[in-house]
Structure 1
Amino acid sequence: MEALLATPGLAWLIFAAVLALAELMMPGIFLVFVAAGAAVTGIVTLIIPGFVPTFQVAVFIVATSTAVGLGRSWYLRNPVPSADPLLNDRVARLVGEIVTVVEPIAAGKGKVRVGDSEWLASGPDLPVGARVRIVGAVGTALTVEPLAG
Structure 2
Amino acid sequence: MIESTIRALGPWSWFVLGLFLLGLEILAPGTIFLWFGLSALAVGLIALVFDFSWQVDVSLFVLLSVVSLLIGRRLMRQLVSEKGDPGLNQRGSRYVGREFTLTTPLREGAGNLSVDDTIWRITGPDLPAGTKVRVEAVEGARLVVAPASAKQTLHAR
> Normalising by the residue count of structure 1, what TM-score does the alignment of the two structures yield?
0.50
Task: Identify, as 1 or 2, the structure richer in helix.
Answer: 2
TM-score, reference length from structure 2 = 0.48
